[in-house]
Amino acid sequence: MKYKIGLEIHTQLTEAGTKLFCGCDSNYRKYKPNTNVCPVCLGLPGALPVPRKQPIILALAVAETFNCRIPESMVFTRKHYFYPDLLKNYQITQYEKGGGMPVCLGGTLKYYDPDLDLWKKVKLRRMNIEEDPGKTEYSEGNILASEFAYVDYNRSGVPLLEVVTEPEIPTPRDARKAVEYLLLTMEYVGAMNPRLEGSFRVDANISVEGGERIEVKNIGSTLDLERALRYEIFRQRKIVEGKGVVERETRHWDPVRGITKSLRSKESEEEYLYFPDPDIPMISTEPLLKEVRKRNITTPEKIMERVSRLGVNRRTAWSLVTIKACAETFLEAVSIGADPIISSRILAIDYKGHLRKSGMNLYKRKNWPDPIVLKKISDLIRNKVYTYDEIKYNIIPKLVNDPKMIHITLPEKASPEKLITEVMNEERKAVWDFYQGKKEALDYLVGKVLKKAYGKAMDPKKVRKLLEESLYKSSNIY
């Protein structure tokens, strides 16, 4: 049974510095409730909105990145609805009808599918800048179970960029990948930090053949987006197959139970009573675009192409690119002479793995090695002073704890042959198990040799090879 998926992705321009129409801080998370507010973002009578330049610059930069058709002028409109977190009873946004004009029309959201090693595309309908409403918190944690709610207006007026796709996303997984790539691109552009709590929300629209469109509101993670879409496809198909009717409505995603629940009937666009905001004049985009084009804006796609041209395989290149701090470290190291193949393997595979195990923040640049240190390490491997595995097991764990490590020296090398003989004499049962066909015994013996060599450099692959040779030579004894 066929289905259609379209997304409305609400992304905060967290790096704007101010709210959209006033000078209050866009980084509202650090304030006590209802203290990061002013007459404008509280919608008090007589307070007039004044568009701030930086949020619009960032929105135009994102629009340029996705090859959008940017109009000569943009017009802000009022979208009317009534909810406690919206003090004015209307939201200032942009719309392509009713006399409005958004920051961009059309465009293409390209996104990478690493499983298929393929770039895919979905058409964009529009991008529009709008103000975020306040934040509603429920006494029981969700709207369905709570008797009352609290409203914090610190977020009210924070600039949002809403990205609306056409209903042509092929699968729930593609929806997830598309949103993840959009967020990654906006981070590279310098528009947002997608890891901040509440920095993006997705409204997913889905309909199966023979049913009306359903909107699932306020999905807060890309994983939940995929899960919610899979559930809705299943739910709607069951209704249609049972000769029931899927009626148009808005639903809520419950991530704990993994289901969607009905919230209300879906409003039509006419009910929002869109019209141009009379308090905000038309804004010319040409002078703002000139500023955008002076910036050195890059994208994950461009970085990946650059890394791939250095001979790095695409899977490793993508692993580098998905962490901006990792990609920047790699490119700086290569620019001063580090070997790209060795450096990419260190950063994208082993160093990243150790960072995760240690619980350190992968996205902070200070947690990644100094490019000069990375060059020194790659030179040691390239010049065959040490093997890659000797560096991997003896240096990288130390480097994670001290990314600016000045002196790169391995401990004195141990004699693997001597240690292997000692272990084989001490672990006779494990040796016998190996001869009985229990291959896991070999892993056990390798571990014992490495443990004996603790504090001294040793290549685990070399140990395994020598141990196997010793075991086969001694097989006639057992």
**What are the tens digits of pLDDT across the range 127-141?**
999 999 999 888 776
Nearest Cα residue to 385 out of 395, 398, 399: 395
User: Using CA atoms in the order 242, 245, 248, 250, what is the torsion angle rounded to 10 degrees?
Assistant: -40
Is residue 455 pLDDT above 70, yes or no? no
What are the boundaries of each domain within the chain? Answer: 3-292, 298-401, 416-473
Q: What is the pLDDT of residues 332-367, one digit of tens each?
A: 999 999 999 999 999 999 999 999 999 999 999 999
- The mean pLDDT value of the chain amounts to 90
Q: What is the CATH number of domain 416-473?
A: 1.10.10
Q: pLDDT at position 475, please?
A: 65
Q: pLDDT at position 308, please?
A: 96
Q: What is the pLDDT of residues 370-410, one digit of tens each?
A: 999 999 999 999 998 888 888 888 889 889 988 888 777 66
